[in-house]
Amino acid sequence: MTLSVQTVVAQDEDTSGVVEAAADSSKVDLAAAADAVATDADAPAVEGAEAPEESGLQVIKKKFIEGDPWFMLFPLICLILGLAIAIERIISLFWMSINTDKFVAQIEDEVAAGNLEGAKEICRNTRGPIASIFYQGLDRADQGSIDVVEKSVVSYGSVQMGILEKGLVWLSLFIALAPMLGFMGTVFGMIEAFDRIETAGDISPAVVAGGIKIALLTTVAGLIVAIILQIFYNFITSKIDGIVNRMEDASISLIDILVKNKVVKA
């Protein structure tokens, strides 16, 4: 009986030790699992905080400052002034555009009815260079000579051409000037890089990086401005060419109308 009691007591002690060891290992595993979950939960937030996205405007502002505002300012001024001229020209040219066929038909009806004053009134109330040319031709029609009418139309056509091309000289100037200003910033940036090399006595990338960055950014700025303004310039010139072609066709139609209705002598 004594041996049995001792064996039972020994077994109870061994069992309690195993249970305690198992409980301790379970606690360790739970703690490790909790730490892993916390780490996984925190990881996306840390990664998101490390790489915030910048908007396009912020990137442009950053590059403008990195390129030295003094040198980047000149291409920016060219861009602002060039866009102002281009937008004004585009609005004016679209405002001058009219339905040429409808206008010529109205003038022909009035001239065929012998109402030259009515035709002139239509010209006065119609916008654009074609109406102005027609008015000048009709105003000289009472002199009875087709040569006088043709000279009047040609002379006033040249005046209207000057009005259509107003401001294009300045726009072309800004197109040529923007890259030059960018290249000037490039030269100053390279000079600054060589000055740093001379001061430091070393040609390591860290010494020359600042000057080279200024040189490249100013060059890019000047080229971008020139490209943008060149696109607007070509669009405006194509629009002017279309208006001029319609002016020439309308002038020929005016002469034909006056001759056909015997307002002037051929």
Per residue in 101-148, pLDDT tens? Answer: 899 999 999 888 888 889 899 999 998 899 999 998 888 887 777 888
**pLDDT for 69-102, tens place per residue?**
677 888 889 999 999 999 999 999 999 888 888 9
How much is the pLDDT for 97? Answer: 86
Written as six digits, the tokens of 114 are 């012998």
Kindly report the number of other CB atoms within 10 A of residue 102's CB atom.
9
232-235 contacts at long range (C-beta below 8 A, 24 or more positions apart): 232/82, 232/83, 232/86, 232/90, 232/171, 233/86, 233/168, 233/171, 233/172, 233/175, 235/90
Res 51 pLDDT > 60: no
How much is the pLDDT for 191? Answer: 76
3-state secondary structure of 145: strand
How much is the pLDDT for 57? Answer: 55
- Measured CA to CA, the distance from residue 73 to residue 174 in angstroms comes to 14
**pLDDT for 182-196, tens place per residue?**
888 777 777 777 777
Domain coordinates in residue numbering, the chain: 1-52, 59-260
The average confidence (pLDDT) of the chain is 76
**pLDDT for 165-184, tens place per residue?**
988 999 999 999 999 988 88
Written as six digits, the tokens of 186 are 């490039």
**Predicted TM-score of the model (pTM):** 0.70
3-state secondary structure of 126: coil
Q: Which residue has the higher pLDDT, 208 or 121?
A: 121
- Nearest to residue 234, comparing CAs of 81, 75, 84, 86? 86
Q: Which residue has the higher pLDDT, 207 or 152?
A: 152
Written as six digits, the tokens of 53 are 């996205």
Across the range 14-40, mean pLDDT stands at: 44
| Partners of residue 265 on adjacent β-strands | 145
- Nearest to residue 116, comparing CAs of 98, 150, 147, 143? 143
